[in-house]
Amino acid sequence: MTEQIRDAVEQYVKLVGAGPTEAIVELYASDATVEDPVGTPVRHGHAAIREFYDVIGALDRDTELQADSVRVAGNEVAFQFTIVTRVAGQRFTLSPIDVMEFDDAGKITRMRAYWSQEDMATKAE
């Protein structure tokens, strides 16, 4: 299961950086939850998760996984990655720490992202 989870994390980060929303949603179990960032309302199920990822879908973005940050324990994983988005001449950089739980089929059942506005760096391009 460890390798399956590591592969899912790599796929997730790649898709968040350039993939279509539907491919991201397919990584999740149908009854999964997303809390991003932690402390905001929890999104339940594919429709709500799709709506969440649609927000970044139209943005110029890329991601990079901090490979040495991936920690798998049982059916859970914690990892850090960097996402860079570009909007209206501004570059936004964020490196959240995500914690995910997986079911036996390798689908994400719960995702929680740890970050706050203070963690986002903004720079004019």
**Interior angle at CA 109, CA 11 and CA 52, nearest 5:** 70
User: What residue type is 108 in one-letter code?
Assistant: I
Q: Other CB atoms closer than 10 Å to residue 108's CB: what's the count?
A: 24
Q: Are 76 and 102 in contact (CB under 8 A)?
A: yes
Active site residue 12: yes
Query: Exactly one of 7, 28, 31, 36 is catalytic; which is it?
Result: 36
Rg of the chain over all Cα atoms, to the nearest angstrom: 14
Any idea which residues carry the catalytic annotation?
A: 12, 36
